[in-house]
Amino acid sequence: MPDLLQIGTITEAMRARLAEAFTIHQLEDYPAERITHIVTNGAVGVPPEVMAAVPNLKVISGYGVGYDAVDVEEAVRRGIVVAHTPNVLNDEVATTAVMLLLACYRELLRDDAHVRSGAWEASGGAALTRTTDNQTVGILGLGRIGQAIARKLAPWNPTILYHSRSPKDVEYTYYDDLVAMAREADVLICITPGGPETHHIVNAEVLEALGPEGTLINVSRGSVVDEAALIAALQNGTLGWAGLDVFEEEPHVPQALRDLPNTVLLPHVGSATVETRAAMGNLTVDNLLQHLKDGKVLTPVPECAHL
């Protein structure tokens, strides 16, 4: 059986299917020369020293849609196909973004704490919150998930604006300038890929444009937002609220963010439901099994589509 290197965690269902077709090795001890396939998760990717150690690698199958933790340029150079799991998680990640938005606007955590602490009974109802109806929502990255977010927000009757490198064939309003869009938006939702191109594109200027009544939602990658600038903006009132699923140094979350009352924080669970992870796991394995059959994968990343 061909030799597969597992990086990061996989589900039992994935392991069971993979074990029928591959000998599975772990990072602690693997036969570098014999490894032809790697399974990894989107956040961990493939460390450069592992890439360099496996001369016969043919496929990297990622359990996730983001692949900023894999050196795709190097993979293409060596003819290694990188696969990922687009589309099967669109609705789940969109739900996570909407959940964060609702939790910020309606102060879900504050009011939950109000009830649990006994403050309601002791001193009366909680302070008012803000409506999520009729808001202007700026989406940074109107791709597969960005468009799912726009659709999922429809019952709240938003005005949707978006920024990406090129305009899309949609009814929403395109901004080629992120700061200009942030100035118009009540909420900015980040859902671009990570990596050098989007590093800190949400900077102090963007946060200031979003403003004291503004809300930032990040379900993309921690690297997209300048976390130090975000903390400062939330502390000094330049920005109103932030709902974050991703952070710059995961799993480390700065104490300052944890101390702020105007944040809602999640441990990178954008797609983390039983159902969606099962669908992602199946596609991750299907990509590897398909490659054994005919040398192709079902869902290559765009850079590898020609391989």
250 tagged catalytic: yes
Q: Phi/psi of residue 4, each to 5°? A: -115, 130
Q: Which of 17, 37, 84, 268 is catalytic?
A: 268
Q: How far is the CB of 293 from ligand NDP (least distance, A)?
A: 26
**216 closest CA partner among 127, 77, 97, 60:** 97
Exactly one of 191, 202, 209, 233 binds ligand NDP (CB under 6 A); that residue is 191
Q: Phi/psi of residue 276, each to 5°? A: -70, -40
Q: Please list, in sequence order, all residues whose beta carbon lies within 8 angstroms of the beta carbon of residue 160, skipping any fewer than 6 positions away.
A: 137, 139, 150, 153, 172, 173
Q: How far is the CB of 198 from ligand NDP (least distance, A)?
A: 5
From residue 72, alpha-carbon distances to 120, 146, 178 in Å are: 54, 23, 27
221 tagged catalytic: yes
Q: How far is the CB of 84 from ligand NDP (least distance, A)?
A: 8
Q: How far is the CB of 133 from ligand NDP (least distance, A)?
A: 26
How many Å apart are CA 70 and CA 84, to the nearest integer? 11
Q: Is residue 8 near ligand NDP by the rule CB under 6 A?
A: no
Sign of the four-CA dihedral 184, 182, 197, 147: negative
Going residue by residue from 223 to 262, which x/- string records binding to ligand NDP, judged by CB under 6 A?
----------------------xx----------------
DSSP letters for 2-22: -EEEE-S---HHHHHHHHTT-
CA–chain centroid gap for 121, Å, is 39
Residue with the CB atom nearest ligand NDP in the bound state: 143
Q: Is residue 135 near ligand NDP by the rule CB under 6 A?
A: no
33 tagged catalytic: no
Span of 51-59, 103-111, 219-227, 281-289 interacting with ligand NDP by CB under 6 A: 219-227
> String of b and e for 141-151 (b: at least 16 CB within 10 Å)?
bbbebbbbbbe
Exactly one of 82, 219, 225, 280 binds ligand NDP (CB under 6 A); that residue is 219
Span of 22-30, 110-118, 159-167, 281-289 interacting with ligand NDP by CB under 6 A: 159-167
Exactly one of 10, 70, 89, 264 binds ligand NDP (CB under 6 A); that residue is 89
Q: Which of 163, 221, 277, 291 is catalytic?
A: 221
Beta partners for residue 188, in sequence order:
138, 216
How many Å apart are CA 113 and CA 98, to the nearest integer? 21
Residues of the shown chain interacting with ligand NDP in the complex, contacts defined by CB under 6 A: 65-66, 86, 89, 93, 141-146, 164-166, 191-194, 197-198, 219-221, 245-246, 268, 270-271
Active site residues: 221, 250, 268
